[in-house]
């Protein structure tokens, strides 16, 4: 591993030095008065930090390290789209396979696919059919969760970018894509399955990168209306208004509002969501633009209970929170829900300083806050606030449990509050055959999280309102399991160079990035040890890529990349306490950062009939932090539990094929074979022959990685006559996945299929492109477990390597959504 890391650094530095020296020499040899050949690059109007593109027609291949220009189609609200919903019916595979040229595994979706999916979906659900993407839902409407894995790594190990800004939680890395954008405003999504952009403002993307862009505002005043209704009492109202060109200012924009609600398909409760999107653009000169993007989200979702294998076998889809309350019933559904609230502001700016010099600046601000709420029964007296034992809390509505102890049913409230301010800048200089890029990213995050308890009255309602009147321990403070104050500061520098040779057919790119992350966390609960914990992370991250355009239609590439991820979640730095325990129920996790070295070898073909691409990949990961969610003992509160399992090796092959419309049909297939294994034996708590608790090891080296199916497959068939009728069919197969490190329990594979049927009406006065669309989700009503929700060392009690007895555990699982039928009516105006 160390040797490969050194060689990669050396290769990057040599390429940088050789390429730039060659350019400097060429410039010095140019006679006075003679013009030099330069390549001007105009920044995109709707930027995202994806690699530079180049048309295969002119023989130029893209680069992994160049200026930030989007890789997929850019569609404005009405100008470029043939239909009111932005579809053009030109992308191969029905919108699942736009042209890619970057020298790495990369796929995408465009409006041709997005507009025909259920309008209740999110960014993650839109890319479920792409190669190597394992998407697991809990709701057929795709409103709950973003559980994704790629090449054996989950969403917390994948970098999410929206319009060039990382809007995922910067500490636990959850993307929360349902908060980011309405799918009616989503322009395109690009998935890099193995490596992030060198200039991307990310420090967790060891498993790849997902970049999404919003539609560009129309040049003409108007709007778009979409109304949805369907099973599970689903309804959505969406309205977008476009300003068009505002006078002679060159400014145009849009603002939209939506309301979405539905009932849970299993168990009581449901979701309500209010969302606002806005985007304004000012363009002038050649390649100059300023964009202002605003997003607001407020939603509440009843939580889902996650069954173990035994509970799934016994109860199936009936394992849910209960609809009725009685004293002591902490599983009452109104005590178990989560709020996701966010405010996002992004302002990408692009300036052409000279004919060969550009400046890109993207400041952004993100505010996310809860609360999350879970039911819990706590002692009315004699419980614990940290390590301090309290007396009688003096609260009403106490009941006596089966052990004769006085207890209180409470709503355990976690009102997390997080703010991030940041700016990402880069300068790109083109000189002859070289493009030199330099960039700097700074980010500052604060995070506050004070858990509280509110007493529940006999009707099942928390006293007054959740969290407003928490229980107070006299003379000590608010009763809490954790009182966290967290700060994070990120500095990252990068330098990259791209050299074009052989009439621009050969492109050699190399770069180096230095990322520095500082974290500091405190826990103000009595007895917390340590009270304060810090983490400093510095990682050198070289990248190297070569691509060659064999013919205007055929490209081969290879790359070597590195990336890292700082430890996930504030729980990695702080203890977690509970009133039912005299000591911490959760200890700080591993504070080592993950580091990957990856290589890819790939081939692409693009012509007038079809697109095809295939790649081989190899990934070595050290300090692999497997993310597991676990319940705080005696509660319904889930927390993130990072588990360091040592090294992991993932090797495999992926491919996809998409045909351009032929007699109005566009088929698409994708597949991946993955062989992912653990490199080390993992530590586990055991009991030795003397009855003492000891740390032993389980023989997990060589075992299959958890949550990493060997085989995944997707097929889709789209039909669109460009006039009236359209539709598509898609099918996904996900192979079985292990949920224990000893591979003694696994979740079976499953198949899910969806159908879309639609009809466009003739134009009506004042209406542009009215249509009706029917989305049938999970048409076979397959009831299945969609992904492991937690992991265990072993499901069976067994002997460790040193002879101690290690008890088995019971992983929990996400349950996939059942059948749903959704009808939507939409029109432009």
Q: What pLDDT, in 10s, does the model give residues 370-422?
A: 899 999 999 999 999 999 999 999 999 999 999 999 999 999 999 899 999 99
Q: Which candidate, 482, 762, 468, places its Cα nearest to that of 632?
A: 482
Q: Give residue for tokens 């410039």.
A: 27
Cα–Cα dist 376/328, whole Å: 8
Domains, the chain, ordered by start: 9-302+336-371+415-450+482-828 (2.40.170.20), 325-335+373-414+453-478 (no CATH)
Q: What is the 3-state secondary structure (H, E, C) of 111-132?
A: HHHHCCCCCCCCHHHHCCCCCC
Model pTM score: 0.89
Q: Mean pLDDT check: name the lowest of 57-66, 314-323, 609-618.
A: 57-66
Cα–Cα dist 238/419, whole Å: 28
Structure tokens belonging to residue 580: 């039912």
Q: Mean pLDDT check: name the lowest of 28-37, 597-606, 656-665.
A: 28-37
Cα–Cα dist 505/590, whole Å: 46
Q: ∠ CA 254-260-263 to the nearest 5 degrees?
A: 170
Asked if residue 297 lies in contact with residue 366, where contact means CB atoms within 8 angstroms, the answer is: no
pLDDT score, position 685: 87
Q: What pLDDT, in 10s, does the model give residues 743-776?
A: 999 999 999 999 999 999 987 888 999 999 999 9
pLDDT score, position 555: 97
Cis preceding linkage at 530, omega within 30: yes
**Dihedral of the CA atoms 199, 203, 206, 208 (nearest 10)?**
-50
pLDDT score, position 169: 93
Q: Which candidate, 440, 499, 510, places its Cα nearest to that of 13?
A: 510
Cα–Cα dist 211/189, whole Å: 6
Q: How many helices (H) and strands (E) does the chain have?
A: 5, 48
Q: What pLDDT, in 10s, does the model give residues 527-586?
A: 999 899 999 999 999 999 999 999 999 999 999 999 999 988 888 888 999 999 999 888
Backbone angles phi, psi at 29, to 5 degrees: -90, 0
Asked if residue 287 lies in contact with residue 253, where contact means CB atoms within 8 angstroms, the answer is: no
Q: What pLDDT, in 10s, does the model give residues 95-121?
A: 999 999 999 999 999 999 999 999 999
Q: Is the pLDDT of residue 59 over 50?
A: no
pLDDT score, position 145: 74
Q: What pLDDT, in 10s, does the model give residues 238-270?
A: 999 999 999 989 999 999 999 999 999 999 999
Across 632-708, the runs of DSSP E, i.e. the strands, are 638-644, 648-659, 665-678, 682-687, 693-698
Cα–Cα dist 545/522, whole Å: 42
* Pairing status of strand 159-162 against strand 209-214: parallel
Task: Decide: helix, strand or coil at residue 197.
Answer: coil
Across 721-749, the runs of DSSP E, i.e. the strands, are 725-734, 737-738, 746-747
For residue 630, what pLDDT band results from cuts at 50, 70 and 90? low
Phi-psi region of 271 (alpha: psi -120 to 50; beta: other; left: phi over 0): beta
């Amino acid at each position: 591993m160390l040797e490969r890391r050194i060689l990669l650094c050396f290769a990057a530095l040599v390429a940088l030095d050789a390429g730039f020296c060659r350019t400097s020499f060429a410039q010095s040899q140019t006679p006075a008065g003679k013009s030099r050949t330069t390549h001007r690059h105009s920044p995109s109007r709707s930027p995202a930090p994806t690699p530079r593109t180049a048309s295969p027609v002119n023989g130029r291949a893209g680069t992994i390290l160049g200026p930030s220009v989007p890789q997929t189609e850019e569609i404005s609200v009405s100008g470029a789209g043939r239909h009111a919903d932005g579809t053009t019916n030109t992308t191969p595979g029905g919108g699942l396979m736009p042209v890619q040229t970057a020298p790495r595994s990369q796929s995408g979706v465009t409006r041709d696919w997005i507009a025909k999916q259920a309008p209740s979906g999110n960014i993650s659900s839109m890319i479920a059919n792409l190669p190597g993407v394992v998407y697991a839902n809990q709701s057929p409407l795709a409103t709950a969760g973003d559980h994704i894995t790629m090449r054996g790594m989950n969403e917390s190990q994948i970098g999410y970018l929206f319009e060039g800004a990382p809007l995922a939680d910067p500490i636990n890395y959850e993307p929360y894509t349902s908060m980011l954008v309405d799918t009616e405003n989503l322009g395109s999504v690009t998935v890099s399955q193995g490596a992030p952009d060198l200039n991307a403002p990310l420090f967790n993307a060891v498993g790849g990168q997902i970049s999404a862009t919003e539609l560009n505002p129309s040049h003409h005043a108007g709007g778009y209306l979409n109304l949805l209704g369907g099973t599970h009492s689903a309804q959505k109202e969406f309205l977008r208004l476009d300003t068009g060109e505002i006078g002679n200012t060159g400014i145009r924009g849009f603002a939209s509002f939506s309301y979405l609600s539905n009932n849970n398909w299993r168990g009581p409760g449901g979701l309500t969501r209010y969302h606002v999107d806005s985007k304004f653009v000012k363009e002038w000169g050649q390649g100059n633009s300023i964009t202002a993007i605003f997003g607001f989200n407020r939603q509440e979702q009843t939580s889902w209970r996650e069954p173990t294998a035994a509970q799934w076998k016994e109860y199936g889809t009936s394992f849910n929170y209960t609809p009725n309350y009685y004293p002591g019933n902490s599983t009452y559904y109104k005590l178990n829900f989560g709020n996701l609230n966010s405010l996002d502001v992004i302002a990408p700016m692009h300036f052409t300083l000279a004919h060969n010099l550009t400046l890109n600046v993207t400041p952004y601000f993100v505010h996310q806050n809860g609360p999350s709420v879970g039911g819990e029964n706590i002692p009315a007296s004699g419980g614990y606030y940290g390590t301090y034992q309290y007396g009688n809390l003096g609260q009403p509505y106490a009941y006596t449990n089966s052990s004769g102890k006085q207890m209180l049913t409470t709503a355990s409230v976690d009102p997390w509050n997080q703010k991030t301010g940041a700016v990402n800048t880069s300068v790109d200089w083109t000189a002859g055959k070289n493009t030199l890029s330099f960039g700097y990213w700074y980010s500052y995050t604060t995070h506050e999280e004070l858990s509280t308890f509110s007493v529940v009255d006999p009707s099942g309602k928390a006293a007054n309102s959740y969290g407003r009147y928490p229980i107070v321990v006299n003379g000590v403070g608010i009763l809490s399991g954790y009182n966290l104050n967290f700060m994070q500061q990120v500095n990252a520098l990068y330098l990259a160079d791209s050299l074009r040779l052989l009439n621009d057919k050969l492109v050699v790119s190399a770069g180096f990035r230095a990322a520095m992350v500082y974290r500091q966390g405190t826990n103000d609960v009595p007895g917390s040890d340590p009270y304060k914990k810090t983490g400093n992370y510095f990682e050198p991250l070289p990248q190297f890529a070569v691509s060659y355009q064999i013919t205007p239609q055929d490209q081969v590439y290879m790359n070597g990349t590195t990336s890292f991820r700082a430890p996930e979640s504030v729980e990695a730095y702080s203890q977690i306490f509970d009133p039912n325990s005299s000591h911490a129920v959760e200890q700080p996790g591993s504070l080592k950062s993950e580091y990957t070295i990856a290589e890819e070898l790939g081939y692409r073909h693009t012509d007038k009939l079809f697109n095809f691409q295939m790649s081989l990949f190899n990934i070595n990961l050290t300090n692999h932090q497997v993310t597991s969610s676990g319940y705080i003992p005696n509660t319904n509160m889930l927390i993130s539990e990072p588990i360091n399992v040592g090294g992991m090796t993932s090797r495999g092959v992926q491919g996809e094929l998409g045909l351009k419309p032929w007699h109005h049909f566009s088929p698409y297939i994708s597949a991946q074979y993955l062989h992912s294994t653990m490199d080390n034996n993992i530590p586990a708590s055991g009991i030795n022959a003397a009855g003492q608790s000891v740390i032993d090891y389980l023989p997990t080296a060589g075992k299959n990685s958890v949550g990493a199916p060997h085989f995944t497959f997707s097929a889709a068939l789209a039909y669109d006559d460009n006039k009236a009728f359209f539709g598509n069919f898609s099918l996904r197969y996900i192979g079985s996945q292990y949920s224990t490190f000893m591979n003694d329990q696994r979740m079976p594979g499953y198949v899910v299929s969806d159908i879309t049927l639609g009809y466009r009406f003739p134009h009506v006065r004042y209406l542009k492109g009215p249509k009706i669309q029917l989305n049938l989700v999970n048409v076979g009503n397959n009831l299945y477990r969609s992904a492991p929700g937690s992991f265990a060392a072993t499901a069976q009690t067994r002997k460790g390597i040193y002879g101690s007895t290690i008890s088995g555990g019971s992983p929990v699982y996400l349950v996939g959504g059942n059948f749903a039928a959704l009808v939507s009516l939409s029109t432009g105006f």
